[in-house]
């Protein structure tokens, strides 16, 4: 059984520390597989492959605008998280499948199915991690080799420690797309845009509703039982609520 929890809107550093504690506890068998679903306050994160030049705003400008800047150990380049974006952090024991590529494909499939719920046809593109749509045909994915105008709908960045996963994906519901275009070069890709569900279909449900829908898709894609979504959005002690103790806040 995967325990699914809705955390509401949280700062990146706080949730990263929670992830780290859960990874340690999962590896030791003190907790089971856990799925954290949430949205972040504005933050720019840099993965292991990130280039500093892909952050367009200076540290002073980021602070002035209330945007955090965090270097992380996840894969990938630079991305942005903010209100209106569904973030999923699966803390799963993947030792039974031991296949990183399959795991990344499964995360993409969850987002593809989530987009399909709203009439958006998305897919993946070789050498470009994440989930994409064709801006010329957002309701009919033409196939990875025939995309005329690719735009990214969801980003993926993961880290595995002894086959325990952390980090995950970010799906753009009704996030401020101007932050992507002005603050960063999203995922280091300068020749393709970023889009959102709201831009594609005119509106997006609240992130909590997207989280509930994604919970069902996680169950389907990972062929696992997933608990009802536990609402921890008002909790001030998430670590205690999830049965772990946070001891570090390193990124």
The residues near 114 (Cβ < 8 Å, ≥ 6 apart) are 86, 171, 210, 213, 214, 217
Between 176 and 234, where is the model more confident?
Answer: 234
CA distance 212 to 86: 10
| Residue 204 CB burial class (10 angstroms; 0-12, 13-18, ≥19) | buried
- Residues marked active site are found at 187
Between 179 and 86, where is the model more confident?
Answer: 86
CA distance 25 to 33: 10
- State pLDDT tens for residues 14-55: 999 999 999 999 999 999 999 999 999 999 888 877 777 878
pLDDT averaged over every residue in the chain: 91
Class of domain 3-241 as given by CATH: alpha beta
Break the chain into its structural domains and give their ranges. 3-241
Confidence at 222, pLDDT banded by 50, 70, 90: very high
- Prediction pTM value: 0.92
**250: pLDDT strictly greater than 80:** no
């Amino acid at each position: 059984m995967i325990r699914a929890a809705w955390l509401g809107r949280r700062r990146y550093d706080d949730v990263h520390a929670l992830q780290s504690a859960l990874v340690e506890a999962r590896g030791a068998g003190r907790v089971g597989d856990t799925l954290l679903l949430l949205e972040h306050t504005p933050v720019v994160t840099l993965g292991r492959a990130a280039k500093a030049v892909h952050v367009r705003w200076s540290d002073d400008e980021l602070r002035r605008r209330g945007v955090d800047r965090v270097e992380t150990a996840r894969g990938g380049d630079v991305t942005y998280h903010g209100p209106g974006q569904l973030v999923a952090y699966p803390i799963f024991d993947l030792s039974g499948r031991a296949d990183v590529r399959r795991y990344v494909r499964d995360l993409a499939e969850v987002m593809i199915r989530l987009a399909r719920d709203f009439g958006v046809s998305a897919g993946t593109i070789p050498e470009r991690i994440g989930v994409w749509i064709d801006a010329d045909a957002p309701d009919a994915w033409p196939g990875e080799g025939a995309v005329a105008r690719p735009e990214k709908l969801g980003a993926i960045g993961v880290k595995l420690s002894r086959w325990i996963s952390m980090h995950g994906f970010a799906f753009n519901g009704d996030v401020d797309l101007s932050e992507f275009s002005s603050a960063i070069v999203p995922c280091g890709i300068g020749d393709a845009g970023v889009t959102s569900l709201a831009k594609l279909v005119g509106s997006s449900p609240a992130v909590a509703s997207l989280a509930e829908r994604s919970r069902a898709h996680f169950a389907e894609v990972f062929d696992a039982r997933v608990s009802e979504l536990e609402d921890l959005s008002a909790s001030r002690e998430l670590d205690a609520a999830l049965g772990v103790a946070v001891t570090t806040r390193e990124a």
